[in-house]
Amino acid sequence: MRCKGCQAKATVEVRHHNAAYCNDCFQDYFLKRVQHNIRAYKMFSPGDRVLLVVSGGKDSLSLWDALIRLGYQVTALYIDLGIEGYSQRSGDKCREFAAKNGTSLGTISVKEVWGLSIPEIARKTRRTPCAVCGRIKRYLFNKCALEGSFPVVATGHNLDDEAASLLGNLLHWQTGYLARQQPNLPATHPKLVKKVKPLYTLTERECLAYALIRNIPYLAEDCPYAEGATSITYKEALNHIEAASPGTKLSFLKGFLKHKGLFREYDGEVELRECSRCGQVTTEEVCSVCRLLERAQKRSAAQQK
Ligand code: Q46
Ligand code: ZN
């Protein structure tokens, strides 16, 4: 197969675009897609300070690399979840990337902030680690962005993540989530920072190819709690369809975004206010993270008596 860009021998096949590229042209293709997504959804401008949440995996580190190369003002934030072994190894990859690129990395540790790690909070509140983790990560990156006066937070969610999340929301008719699922979530309150996903049209495989070509030191292992997650089942189902009909994942997501207006009426006008304890945005008197942590800390104190 020949490279679509320069006719040299191709190394990466991009089946959903019916194309193949050599290593150099694939990097150009990847950077162009990221740039296009940022512009098409008005995610941020070259002068904006962007807070990028990195996990040590191929997606967020590839995005970090791409944003640096595209000349954006990016600051990375690593959230240490306190997952034994895994968090140390994922943090090491982020630190290695930062050192290799002569850039800095901000870190916030869940255990240092609240005295308990994600698995401990999950155990004490009898929740699944992922349910606790998602909520706490969103809370922390919004807080860090506000404190650092960043107008926008970027995450490394890719096409596979977005298509799987769309499939899950449709299967369960989560109309509220469907109304809000988009690659650019504007700030709807002065204390909520805009959230964007510049990789939303790039597959997991494309991010992996970019990371390998760029020699990015990413962590290849999955979080131990990812096993058995329903999102993985949805990804597998979509991969199965994609193999038989390349391009389905992308057209599924793009078609949804085009017709998203159909779900507008479900984007309930909820009244947002500030949590009476921590000041973060919530719909109730006390935010869900403060309530969760209060329960976990009470149980922790009771067990120590
Ligand atoms: S890190 Fe957290 Fe994921 Fe691990 S505990 Fe679940 S949500 S699987 S992206
Ligand atoms: Zn709170």
The Å distance, Cα 264 to ligand 1 centre, comes to 29
Mutate to test the pocket of ligand 1, among 225, 230, 234 (most ligand atoms within 8 A of CB): 225
Closest atom of ligand 1 to CA, residue 129:
5
For 22, 153, 188, 288, 302, the CA distances from 142, given in Å and listed in that order, are 39, 8, 13, 14, 31
For position 150, what pLDDT does the model report?
Answer: 98
For position 264, what pLDDT does the model report?
Answer: 83
Residue 171, Cβ neighbours under 10 Å: how many?
11
Closest atom of ligand 1 to CA, residue 229:
8
Q: Which residue has the tokens 């096409």?
A: 159
Enumerate the β-bridge partners of residue 107.
78
Separation of CA 30 from chain center: 18
pLDDT in tens, 56-108: 999 999 999 999 999 999 999 999 999 999 999 999 999 999 999 999 999 99
pLDDT tens track of the chain, all 305 residues?
999 999 999 999 999 889 999 999 999 999 999 999 999 999 999 999 999 999 999 999 999 999 999 999 999 999 999 999 999 999 999 999 999 999 999 999 999 999 999 999 999 999 999 999 999 999 999 999 999 999 999 999 999 999 999 999 999 999 989 999 999 999 999 999 999 999 999 999 999 999 999 999 999 999 999 988 899 999 999 999 999 999 999 999 999 999 988 888 887 667 899 999 999 999 999 999 999 999 999 988 888 77
Contact 45, 39 (CB under 8 A): no
For position 228, what pLDDT does the model report?
Answer: 80
pLDDT in tens, 260-269: 888 888 876 6
| Ligand 1 atom 5 nearest Cα | 130
Contact 64, 74 (CB under 8 A): yes
- Looking at all shown ligands, the one closest to residue 284's CA atom is 2
CATH code of the domain made up of 34-270: 3.40.50.620
Enumerate the β-bridge partners of residue 76.
52, 105
Q: Which residue has the tokens 């995005």?
A: 63
The Å distance, Cα 106 to ligand 1 centre, comes to 20
Mutate to test the pocket of ligand 1, among 89, 223, 227 (most ligand atoms within 8 A of CB): 223
Closest CA relative to residue 199, chosen from 11, 4, 57: 57
Name the packing angle between helices 129-147 and 118-125 (round to 10°): 130
The Å distance, Cα 182 to ligand 1 centre, comes to 21
pTM: 0.96
Domain boundaries, the chain: 34-270
For 32, 162, 207, 249, the CA distances from 39, given in Å and listed in that order, are 10, 19, 19, 22
Contact 168, 231 (CB under 8 A): yes
- Looking at all shown ligands, the one closest to residue 294's CA atom is 2
Closest atom of ligand 1 to CA, residue 134:
7
For position 269, what pLDDT does the model report?
Answer: 67
> Which amino acid does the sequence have at 244?
A
Closest atom of ligand 1 to CA, residue 224:
4
Question: What residues does ligand 1 touch, defined as CB less than 6 Å away?
Answer: 118, 129-130, 133-134, 223, 225-226
